[in-house]
Amino acid sequence: MEGQKNQVVDEARSILFKKYEMGRLLGQGTFAKVYHAKRLGSGDSVAIKVINKDHVKKQGMMEQIQREISVMRLVRHPNVVELKEVMATKTKIFFAMEFVKGGELFAKVAKGKLKEDSARKYFQQLVSAIDFCHSRGVSHRDLKPENLLLDENENLKVSDFGLSSLPEQLRNDGLLHTQCGTPAYVAPEVLRKRGYDGAKADTWSCGVILYVLLCGFLPFRAENVMKMYTKVFKAEFEFPPWVSTQAKRLISKLLVADPEKRITISAIMEDPWFQKGFRKPIAFSIEEQENNEEWQGCRGEVEMVRTKSSPPFYNAFEFISSMSSGFDLSSLFLSKRKSGSMFTSKCSASNIMAKLESLAQKLNFRVVNVKDFKVKMQGLVDGRKGKLSVTAEVFEVAPEVALVQFSKSAGDTLEYTKFCEEEARPALKDIVWSWQGENECSDHQRPMVHENGGEICA
């Protein structure tokens, strides 16, 4: 009997893509289920969000899923739930995300108001995360305690970017026009169904959240939704007696009906009440780490032999792998072409090197080092994360074909993407044969991943 039980357990063991052992159901919504899982080998816990493709297509929600992936790739911050990777089969999409153990902030608020120091800590982490989102052109648009999770160290993590907006969603007037979010936390300009600034709408929601944390209940309460809307439109609310004067002053600047008069995120971060004990977290980019790991992995296939007279050799398998979008699952979901950071050229390696040095001078970059068919250049002006530093390296693919690989050594990822797209591409067009990803599978041959994790053009 015991042997039969063990056999059932073994049979029930579900392994996803030979990477994750699936566990218990954590929760489910209209379009997705979320499971606890463990990464094979390391045993690290993750949350796997499983989305049925047919279901979201029928409901016209595929664009929303694509947007959520795009947003989570852009926003990498200590107080934002991390998207580790995206996988897919013909029927399902899988998000492997950071597993946040502490549950929703809502569960804490449901028990009553928080102490001021605790409320301030969560609010500081929320504002830091939203400030970073806004710097990437991302508005969350559904901020509420249910979408704020807590990790094992009681640090806040913003989740659920399904309703987030990206810059390309703005109309010609520069505003968003989609009504979304949870009414109790939504800004009045969104409820009025007029154009609105997503960042300013997020700021209002932050104000409602801060009020709830300090008071234990919503600022705009009424017996029905229409009466609540009336209060929201007028920004009509009262403070209980226990809220401190400084906190009242800040909330009163946040919950302002006119978005043009509402306090900005940068001004919030300068507020005396907010500043108490505040340390701004350092934002990071998992994309950079992943790209470096992939790059190191493909280089490991062949021993690089470098001489002063010729660039390093780049073998055919690496070349095909790196230049084919069929090896990049993101092309399943991202509507825009991934920024090119690699191109082929029929020019000689020495001519390419001269062109790269000329590029640095033209763009007002300082050439830090030129050695062994590698150019390191650094911007002169500080960006969001200091000076942008870029390395360009030339490889030999065949006697008359060279491959040029750009990589970011330091600085901000978004600024590096802009460098590749808006500066390097136009400046190098006369020596470029083909940029990475421009020879993609046709529409009827989109890259797909088998149930066992293998890739094909299906």
- Residues annotated catalytic, as ranges: 142
Q: Answer for the pair 226, 158: CB distance below 8 angstroms, yes or no.
A: no
Backbone angles phi, psi at 255, to 5 degrees: -90, 65
Going by C-beta distance under 8 Å and a sequence separation of 6 or more, which residues neighbour residue 415? 383, 384, 388
Q: How far apart are CA 209 and CA 207, in angstroms?
A: 5
Q: Name the CA dihedral angle for 200, 203, 204, 206, rounded to a multiple of 10 degrees.
A: 160
Q: Answer for the pair 393, 306: CB distance below 8 angstroms, yes or no.
A: no
Q: How far apart are CA 423 and CA 338, in angstroms?
A: 15
Q: How far apart are CA 434 and CA 169, in angstroms?
A: 30
Within 10 A of 38 (CB to CB), how many other CB atoms are there? 16
Q: Answer for the pair 61, 419: CB distance below 8 angstroms, yes or no.
A: no
Q: Answer for the pair 58, 44: CB distance below 8 angstroms, yes or no.
A: no
Helices and strands in the chain, H and E counts: 16, 16
Q: Answer for the pair 31, 52: CB distance below 8 angstroms, yes or no.
A: yes
Backbone angles phi, psi at 335, to 5 degrees: -75, -30
Q: Answer for the pair 114, 108: CB distance below 8 angstroms, yes or no.
A: yes
State which amino acid sits at residue 263: I
49 labelled binding-site residue: yes
Residue 278: which of 78, 122, 81 has the closest Cα? 122
Binding site for ATP, residues?
A: 49
